[in-house]
Structure 1
Amino acid sequence: MVHRIRFTLPRLLPVAGLLVLLASPYVQAEAPKEQWHTSIATGYGQLVETTEKLNNSARHYCEAPDKAKLDQVKEAWADGFHAWQAVRFVDFGPIQQNSLAWQFQFWPDQKNLIAKKVDAWVEGEQKITVENLAGDSVAVKGFPAIEYMLFDPRLEGKQLALPHPRTCQMLTTVTSLMASNAQSLRNDWATFKSHYLSTGDYGDATVLAAMHALETIENKRLGAPMGLGGSRRNAYLGDAWRSDQSLAALHSSLKGVQQYFVPGLKTLMQNSANQALFDEFESQLARTLERFADLPNDLAAMLEEDNGYRQLQFLYIDVERLSNKLSRDIAPELGVVKGFNSSDGD
């Protein structure tokens, strides 16, 4: 027997409602959302590749330690860390499960929990396994914990620096867990595709994610270390200060916005009255990225002398303008309303 599927036509919308619907930028938003999903998938793919490389490098080093292999681990850490920075703006979808963003990067760490937690594991007697580590704090599961083991001299004073057996076991366990998390994130993002494309709110969520990322760079990742919140200048409030990568991390995050967010936004806004706003935003992003060409990878030394601090001020102004272009000019035109974000507040 052949079963015919019957479709029930919806009631016609009132004319006013129909006009409002047609005016919405998200009526034809499947193309930009498709682009956003594909772009973010590419970024997550880079995260998988670099964390796998980091895990392999750590394992090879600990099997037969030498300086050359340790340098390879540090290089692999930097590659993975910057791949994470590029997709760090994505704050919705699978990354929200099990506090994954915090597992990749516990930050800010104003109480130095990373060092305390790693020390507790290395100095203790508990068996260091992925299963045991998975049940502990996010402070010991991500890039900052590995950074501590690779770059901080504190462990040397305890005679526990790499390649100490327990520190090596901790290193390879964290890198293994992080590589597994990256793989799960990529797979879950692929599964998430149909829901992402079919749910209208995720268009707004993607724009909001970029807004929150730029505001976090402006206020917390750059402004706070510069002392712009009323406190003293403090390099320890920045990202990756142990490895001298705090400014390089900002650059990678902005490059991620350029690579994984901007193309979809362009598709959304092209051939519309908002095209000029997009062009201004894209140009401001390019100018901001160019600013890094004359800057070192870290901001610590720049905070200590006038000329360096002046350069940071110029960078801050560019970031502020970029953030305002998106949140004050573009978002209202798209009907995107800023809401609470998990990174807001303390």
Structure 2
Amino acid sequence: MRKMLFALLLASLCYTQAVHAAPDYRAINSEAVQAHILPRLAKLQSTTRAFADAAKPGCGEREALRRGWQQAMLAWQGVQHLRFGPVLLFNRYQRFAYWPDPRNSIPRQMNELFASGKLPDFHAGSIAVQGMGALERVLFDGKETAKLEDDAFRCQWLQAATENLAGMAKDINDDWGKGRNYAQQFVAAKGDLVVYAGPEEATLDLFKALHAAVELVADHKLNRPMGKSLREQKPMAAEYWRSGMSGAAIAANIAAARELFAAMAAKVPDRALAADLSKRFDDLASRTAALHLEDALADPSARPGLEKLRADLLAVKSMLAEKLAPTLEIPVGFNALDGD
């Protein structure tokens, strides 16, 4: 009897230790890099390169330029949540896409730029006259687009701006890869480019990225244009309302978050939580895949569906902070969008 009780006690102890075993941070980091980060950075490089190549012959092929912008923008949405590492060097993150633009700096500074007839210094100059937002305005605002073929300087700026994006994307991808080996240093949490005390701090950056992806959509990309009520809606506060791509950007954000969590999920100690979050991300990805935010905002009958989507995103955001962070044994005293 004593042997049986001892065996049961030992089994119980082993089970308890297994349940509370420390997460394998290095395995989480490696899988996230290989399955999520590197493929998406490669996609960003290829789409921005294609966009720049489309602009090389000139600005007469308007639809080709618009398609180039759309593909590059969606690729950016797939990495927009990764607010650490090489993307922060040389202010690349803000230079890639300046949004929100609370002071309406882009149209004002773009008008000043075109009046000056002098190309800006993309590296040290204003972030408002480069990146996805500025390019969207020139390519999708009717009045601005009509001037492209008649104003050689505008086309010259567009060619330079697209080359700037392609160059930044290549530099970011190179820094993660064999150029500076940031990926290897990130996984090992060692090297001259990282300041992590251990792999768990690198996992914390991944968690912040996951949390930020959901927070950005729920609290900003949906909340800003939706407002508190139908009467308080502000459709032009949506991220890419000029191109009608606000919903597609959200879908890309959620697809990226889903993919990042999938890369982490196998090593989440709480298996029931991992399964629940996986199911929720699948649901959110399915519901946003065909989202056309501009149409939904214009249709009062679509308001309840948008409110439900926002509520479900906020629920996942809370689960990440209140349940996933503790099971991964990482702190949550931060604002993910501040990058603290």
The answer, yes or no, to whether TM exceeds 0.5 is: yes
Other-structure match for 1:168: 155
Structure 1 alignment gaps of length 5 or more: 1-18
Q: Which moved more, 1:327-336 or 1:70-79?
A: 327-336
Q: Which moved more, 1:176-185 or 1:305-314?
A: 305-314
Deviations along 1:304-327, one digit per CA (max 9) or x if unpaired, are 332121221122122122222222
CA distance in 1, matches of 2:47, 2:54: 10
What is the TM-score when the length of structure 1 is the normalising length? 0.83
Among 14, 21, 24, the residue aligned to 1:23: 21
Deviations along 1:176-211, one digit per CA (max 9) or x if unpaired, are 001000000001112212321122210111111111
What is the TM-score when the length of structure 2 is the normalising length? 0.84
CA contact (8 A) 1:102 1:138 kept: yes
Other-structure match for 2:169: 182
Q: Which amino acid aligns with 1:87?
A: V
The alpha-carbon deviation at position 60 of structure 1 amounts to: 2.3
Other-structure match for 1:43: 40
CA contact (8 A) 1:61 1:70 kept: no
CA contact (8 A) 1:110 1:237 kept: no
Deviations along 1:55-86, one digit per CA (max 9) or x if unpaired, are 00111243xx2xxx210110111001000101
TM alignment of 1:218-229, pairs within 5 A: 218-228=218-228
Other-structure match for 2:65: 73
Among 314, 318, 331, the residue aligned to 1:324: 318
Other-structure match for 2:236: 236
CA distance in 2, matches of 1:294, 1:70: 25
Other-structure match for 1:286: 282
Among 123, 146, 155, the residue aligned to 2:144: 155
1:266 pairs with 2:268: no
Deviations along 1:69-108, one digit per CA (max 9) or x if unpaired, are 2101101110010001011111111112122111111000
Q: Which portions of structure 1, spanning 4 or more consecutive aligned residues, are displaced by more than 3 angstroms?
A: 159-163, 228-231, 339-345
The alpha-carbon deviation at position 264 of structure 1 amounts to: 2.3
Other-structure match for 1:5: none
Residues 330 and 54 of structure 1: is their aligned pair in 2 closer, same or farther, counting only changes over 3 Å? same
Secondary structure of 2:56's counterpart equals: helix
CA contact (8 A) 1:35 1:263 kept: no
Other-structure match for 1:193: 183
Other-structure match for 1:246: 246
Other-structure match for 1:6: none
The alpha-carbon deviation at position 338 of structure 1 amounts to: 2.2
TM alignment of 1:124-139, pairs within 5 A: 124-126=116-118, 128=119, 132-139=121-128
CA contact (8 A) 2:48 2:169 kept: yes
- Percent identity of paired positions between Structure 1 and Structure 2: 23
- Aligned residue-pair number: 308
Q: Aligned-residue CA RMSD in angstroms?
A: 2.4
1:300 pairs with 2:287: no
CA contact (8 A) 1:208 1:336 kept: no
CA distance in 1, matches of 2:240, 2:299: 21
Among 104, 118, 136, the residue aligned to 2:96: 104
The alpha-carbon deviation at position 140 of structure 1 amounts to: 1.6
The alpha-carbon deviation at position 141 of structure 1 amounts to: 1.8
CA distance in 1, matches of 2:309, 2:276: 17
CA contact (8 A) 1:223 1:229 kept: no
CA distance in 1, matches of 2:230, 2:188: 44
Other-structure match for 1:11: none
Among 302, 313, 317, the residue aligned to 2:307: 313
Structure 2 alignment gaps of length 5 or more: 1-16, 190-198
Other-structure match for 1:89: 81
